[in-house]
Amino acid sequence: MYVSLFILLDIFGKTISFSRENINFVLVYDKQLEHTSKQYEKDETSFNEIDTTLMRLAAEDKVRFGLGKFEKLYFKKVHTCSKDEFDMSFASRF
C-alpha cells in the first residue's frame, strides 16, 4: 500500500496532503480463502458480525484488518469489502 501510494504521488508530482484530501483506498478481499492471521480470526467473531450488520444499517462502512488507521493519515477514506460486497456496492455504480 505504501509503495503504491508513493509511486502514484511521485508520478503525478503530488504530496501526502493531496492524497489525504483526494484519494480513497479500497481493499477487496476474498472471504472464501482460508486465513490464518489473528486479525482475520478476530473479524470473524459473532460480535463483529453483529457490528458489521449495525454498521450497514447505519449506512457506514466497517474498515477491517486494522486499515482504519490510514484514513485521514494517508487517504481521504478507507474501505474494505469482500468481492461480493464490492460487486454490489462499487462495481454496480460503473
Contact 64, 80 (CB under 8 A): yes
- Tally of domains in the chain: 1
The pLDDT assigned to 23 comes to 94
Contacts from 4-13 at CB under 8 Å and sequence distance 24+?
Answer: 5/74, 5/75
What are the cell numbers at 40?
Answer: 482475520
How many C-beta atoms lie closer than 10 Å to residue 43's C-beta?
19
Q: What is this structure's pTM?
A: 0.67
Which residue segment(s) compose the domain that 52 sits in?
Answer: 2-93
Q: Which letter, b or e, does each residue of 6-30 get, where b requires 16 or more Cβ atoms within 10 Å of its Cβ?
A: eeebeeeeeeeeebeeebebeeebe
The pLDDT assigned to 56 comes to 63
- Over the chain (94 residues), what is each successive 10-residue block's mean pLDDT? 93 96 91 58 56 59 86 92 82 70
